A and B are shown apart, each in its own frame.
Chain A
């Protein structure tokens, strides 16, 4: 059985975990970073650059920068395809057991930083939008991946550029039927930025956003909206369903707020702006570590938001929806708390 000891154990190698690992190693604090999947980068590695004539401030490029820096850090032990099978407190330290490509092992750490991230909302759980059944219904994440790989969007049914695209916001978020009483915070940002990007690359594409409320994101938001409204159509309505139209078009039924009875409108492509849902590891972690879940199902340190419990720190979307910018800030915050904690520990 191999053993891995470090000052800090980080679970999760997404943008928050990587940022924290780098921030700790810059201060010569040893880190073990455990990641379940076969690559670092978490969800951000699927996201595209959304720059048009200039950067739209989505922050996706920050990941590549951090990955490059992390590769040069000798005191960060990165363990891919590795899972923590058990974790507990032992002699004021965290004792954990893991299994990875080189077999099982155990390790110790003085502090634990949880950055296990989120799960995107499963679009199939809103069957009225027929994701997975109709070819030309995609999720925001599908769109990110396509734009990242090829730089353009094509209709899955015939591989040509769509002439009209509808974005449906709040899919799975702010949804009382699903008992999701929270806003995912990132969907307005990614949808509007991708809409601008598509419009920049193919100006003839007509884009409509179906929404409840547009949330503020990024710097200079008023200027951003002023520009965006010039080229994107906004309809304040969340469509009730999507049907199959002619030529594989998608037919959206919605109740506009102009007083008309429900309308139908056809588009070449529909994009479901799926939100941020609690990660799959939340129950395991909350059980083993005695952490509480907040009413939205995300991890919470349980003591209000100011004093984390002894030695456990949270970074990024593990504790609720967050943009890339906020996940990075959060990772800095958690790292600062780790340092203050280690300092206090060494004194006492």
Chain B
């Protein structure tokens, strides 16, 4: 065993980002007593979505105040034009390799927060739609407004031509993607401002009006009251034709069923948002996980709110996808709490007792290192399971070809004892019906089983439940042992796909069980005596249905 004092938690947090989420996380962590190193890939601060009229507060002012007080705080260090090239080590004592133009160096930090801002690319895919004075992005228009402290002065040039009562401004929103509430908030607040202050004719084309945030429906209604015109299109959006200095939008009005043309003086288009390339690459190399759309945090509800796949690395803000400033603040505060939990969590001593590697059996084949979803296993001249990073799912124990890893409460010895106890009980009572053993994840099937047992419709006597920390702990040996002890059938319950608390435990379990069934068939036994099912913690009816059906099948087989 490695002496526990070798594992430490450095109470310092590295934050990646340069906007509201990053600074808010920093601010909260400082107030909770942690040191913060904030690295900003750029030299400037990204101020998100200015003058949003949703909460009656100014993001810019808030961010400015926060930055000023942070910069005075001795526990806060900021490096601009600096990037993180790699993260090594484990939760509590990561080595973060930093890089600026001048130097490369390493910081030891206890935790890392990814709080990046998104990059926006224009949708001017067709070359004839290059931005100019008549076509502009939503971001560019926002910037024009936010850089002016007062109203836009009347000028007979560029985009300013459109800010007169008889000119037309058209917004195209959600043309390529589904659209999102953050862009809609910008679109609506700009539209309302333009309508109120310059009386231009404003038309918004969109697939869906995205209003699923507080205050958004009111903003939408305010736009309508102010005379902003909305055109909703279904599949194909309006056609954009450009000739000389004229932009033409051709569309069919869905209600009047008539083709229309509009020649806006200014066309405002929203952008496609994505993670900055360096953050995406870092997320891949650090194995913290992403969703299928390329945003941070895999689509798995058990990581909510701010966890990544890797213990000690957290996600806050727009890196998850476009969001409003108030949501960024919520994210940042939730992240600060998650980090506080990590630092103030249970002691190393407690944790180390729970997972044991038998060095006599271990051949350092590194199977466990490859399979651990949380990057919790390392090796020197021996394997060690990092006490802070480990989430005790037992996938390593399930995969270990030497059975060298044991989790207390779920060790091979303890599982065997439970199986033997069933055998002994069987000798005492003569059962007429076939018996089933269920192996299930304690956090889904285990919860359902408890509910079933405490309800008045108990599952029949001949069913026994053996709990696993995660289905990924399931060892095919248990199936064989159960069958050898005379059990008629074995059921294995794992969480639904993409709902595993250990990310891949359910998939590994399925693969192992499928393989075990093949062995069993080769050995001349009926593979249908083993069944694998997905079950979540609130599907009581399904457990009952599967058990009843399985019992029925087994009985029928026995009868023949």
Which listed residue (A214, A329, A339) contacts B340, Cβ 8 A?
A: A339
Which listed residue (A176, A219, A295) contacts B299, Cβ 8 A?
A: A219
Contacts A/B (CB < 8 Å), 21 sampled: A48-B539, A51-B496, A54-B497, A60-B538, A61-B536, A151-B539, A151-B542, A183-B212, A212-B209, A213-B211, A214-B208, A216-B180, A257-B254, A258-B257, A259-B254, A304-B57, A306-B329, A325-B304, A325-B305, A329-B334, A332-B333
Given known contacts A61-B536, A213-B209, is B330 in contact with A333 (CB within 8 Å)?
yes
Given contacts A63-B538, A216-B178, A220-B293, 18 further A-B contacts (CB under 8 A): A23-B341, A49-B538, A55-B300, A57-B498, A58-B301, A151-B545, A182-B214, A183-B217, A216-B210, A219-B295, A219-B297, A219-B321, A221-B178, A236-B232, A259-B256, A306-B57, A335-B337, A336-B337
Please, which residue of chain B has its CB at the minimum distance from the CB of A47? B538
> Chain B residues with Cβ under 8 A from A305's Cβ?
55, 57, 326, 329
CB of B257 within 8 A of CB of A220, answer no
Which listed residue (B33, B304, B333) contacts A59, Cβ 8 A?
A: B304
A26→B342 CA distance, assembly (Å): 10
CB of B443 within 8 A of CB of A68, answer yes
Please, which residue of chain B has its CB at the minimum distance from the CB of A27? B344
B131-152 CB mask vs A (1 if < 8 Å, else 0) is 0000000000000000000000
> Chain A residues with Cβ under 8 A from B496's Cβ?
49, 51, 54-55
**Chain B at the A interface: SS class:** loop
A182→B338 CA distance, assembly (Å): 31
> Chain B residues with Cβ under 8 A from A330's Cβ?
330, 334
CB of B536 within 8 A of CB of A181, answer no
A332→B332 CA distance, assembly (Å): 10
Smallest beta-carbon distance B215→chain A, Å: 8
CB of B212 within 8 A of CB of A216, answer yes
A238-262 CB mask vs B (1 if < 8 Å, else 0) is 0000000000000000000111000
CB of A332 within 8 A of CB of B334, answer yes
> Chain A residues with Cβ under 8 A from B293's Cβ?
219-223
Of residues 158 to 208 in B, which have CB atoms within 8 Å of A's CB atoms?
Answer: 177-181, 208
A223→B292 CA distance, assembly (Å): 8
A36→B544 CA distance, assembly (Å): 31
> Chain A residues with Cβ under 8 A from B209's Cβ?
212-213
B541 at the interface (CB under 8 A from A): yes
CB of A61 within 8 A of CB of B333, answer no
B28 at the interface (CB under 8 A from A): yes
CB of A220 within 8 A of CB of B208, answer no
A182→B210 CA distance, assembly (Å): 12
CB of B337 within 8 A of CB of A55, answer no
Smallest beta-carbon distance A55→chain B, Å: 4
B271 at the interface (CB under 8 A from A): no
Smallest beta-carbon distance A258→chain B, Å: 7
B241 at the interface (CB under 8 A from A): no
Please, which residue of chain B has its CB at the minimum distance from the CB of A20? B337
CB of B498 within 8 A of CB of A55, answer yes
B447 at the interface (CB under 8 A from A): yes
CB of B301 within 8 A of CB of A61, answer yes
A251→B373 CA distance, assembly (Å): 52
CB of A339 within 8 A of CB of B305, answer no
> Chain B residues with Cβ under 8 A from A328's Cβ?
304-305
> Chain A residues with Cβ under 8 A from B334's Cβ?
329-330, 332-333, 336
CB of A57 within 8 A of CB of B299, answer yes
A-B interface, 6 closest residue pairs, ranked by CB to CB distance from nearest? A54-B497, A332-B334, A64-B537, A55-B499, A51-B496, A259-B257
CB of B254 within 8 A of CB of A340, answer no
B336 at the interface (CB under 8 A from A): yes
B221 at the interface (CB under 8 A from A): yes
B379 at the interface (CB under 8 A from A): no
Using CB atoms and an 8 Å cutoff, list the residues of chain A in contact with chain B: 23, 26-27, 47-49, 51, 53-55, 57-65, 67-68, 148-151, 174, 176, 181-183, 185, 188, 212-223, 225, 236, 257-259, 294-296, 304-306, 320-321, 325, 328-330, 332-333, 335-337, 339-340, 343
> Chain A residues with Cβ under 8 A from B270's Cβ?
none
Given known contacts A27-B341, A61-B537, A68-B447, is B181 in contact with A216 (CB within 8 Å)?
yes
Which listed residue (A62, A68, A151) contacts B541, Cβ 8 A?
A: A151
Please, which residue of chain B has its CB at the minimum distance from the CB of A319? B214
> Chain A residues with Cβ under 8 A from B232's Cβ?
213, 236
A93→B306 CA distance, assembly (Å): 32
B392 at the interface (CB under 8 A from A): no
B293-327 CB mask vs A (1 if < 8 Å, else 0) is 10101111110111000000000000011000010
A330→B216 CA distance, assembly (Å): 19
Given known contacts A54-B498, A236-B232, is B304 in contact with A215 (CB within 8 Å)?
no
Given known contacts A23-B341, A55-B498, is B538 in contact with A174 (CB within 8 Å)?
no
Given known contacts A57-B301, A151-B539, A213-B210, is B217 in contact with A329 (CB within 8 Å)?
no
A347→B379 CA distance, assembly (Å): 44
A148→B540 CA distance, assembly (Å): 8
Please, which residue of chain B has its CB at the minimum distance from the CB of A320? B214
Given known contacts A183-B211, A320-B214, A336-B334, is B31 in contact with A343 (CB within 8 Å)?
yes
A223→B177 CA distance, assembly (Å): 10
Smallest beta-carbon distance B351→chain A, Å: 14
A148→B541 CA distance, assembly (Å): 8
CB of B444 within 8 A of CB of A61, answer yes
CB of A65 within 8 A of CB of B447, answer yes
B553 at the interface (CB under 8 A from A): no
CB of A332 within 8 A of CB of B234, answer no
B261 at the interface (CB under 8 A from A): no
Smallest beta-carbon distance B392→chain A, Å: 14
CB of B337 within 8 A of CB of A332, answer yes
CB of A185 within 8 A of CB of B212, answer yes
A53→B510 CA distance, assembly (Å): 14
CB of A304 within 8 A of CB of B55, answer yes
